[in-house]
Amino acid sequence: MASTSANESAAAAQPRAAISHVIFDMDGLLLGIFLSLPSSISWIQGEFLGSRFYASGGAADTEGFYTEVQEKILARYGKVFDWSLKAKMMGKKATESARIFVDECGLDGLLTPEQFLEERESMLQALFPSCTKLPGVLRLVHHLHANGIPMAVATGSHKRHFALKTQNHQEMFSLMHHVVMGDDPEVKAGKPSPDIFLAAMRRFEGNVEPSKCLVFEDAPSGVAAAKNAGMSAVMVPDPRLDVSYHKGADQVLSSLLNFKPSEWGLPPFKE
């Protein structure tokens, strides 16, 4: 009996994988928004129907920006933006998500993907600078950096949006080895294609194997992209995303505050 117990303890102590490099998605994973926005943005005050909130920090993920804007646009046509549609759009390149939006909502002849993107862009420009770091992010990033674990960001955001979202978080992003964006020439296709994660992996120093990379994602398409790249994936989804979209992730967490590095062969937090 004692031998069985010892074997179970040893198995529990075994890490899920021997990770040496970490890749983060950005929207909804690293960055979010404050509950209070500038009073000039009157159309969004008090709504926030599509955002993830954290009672302790008053923040919601940046995917909420897109949700709010898209809800506003659809309302004009008497339609509702639901989570099944959001799940299909998350992590995609802008042109891909715009086509999905128009097709799935039956807006052909009423709104073109190009018109949708133009309208959405003008609304988003006012919101992005209010991004804030989500719970557990800074602790994890500082911990990995202090322990010499190379990190990168792989985001579907293009350069202009990335600059707006990160302008107040330069210190954190300076700790990243590199950033790969959605409009990078090496990223031929958006998630769930593995392009962006493979590009991020190739830019680390040395010959890094996919099996040594751990990806943090909030979107189903992002998890699929990581797995298609041969990498491990930790998912931190919005709590309202149906659990059926969690499949494929190696681990699902409600917050980065719950992540335990030692489970992945990474240096443990010093409590």
Q: Is residue 25 among the annotated active site residues?
A: yes
Cβ distance 102 to 112 under 8 Å? yes
Contact 59, 34 (CB under 8 A): yes
Q: Give dist(CA 228, CA 237) in Å, integer.
A: 19
Q: Which structure tokens are listed for 226? A: 């990581």
Q: Which of 25, 184, 195, 238 is catalytic?
A: 25
Total number of residues shown for the chain: 271
Cross-sheet strand order for the sheet of 213-217: 178-180, 151-154, 21-24, 213-217, 232-235, 251-252
Cα 267 to Cα 226: distance, rounded to the nearest angstrom? 22
Residue 190 to residues 29, 164, 193, 195, 251: CA-CA distances in angstroms? 17, 21, 6, 7, 23
Show the tokens assigned to 94.
Answer: 């802008």
Write the DSSP symbol of residue 134: P
Which among 27, 61, 218, 238 is annotated as catalytic? 27
Q: Which residues belong to the active site?
A: 25, 27
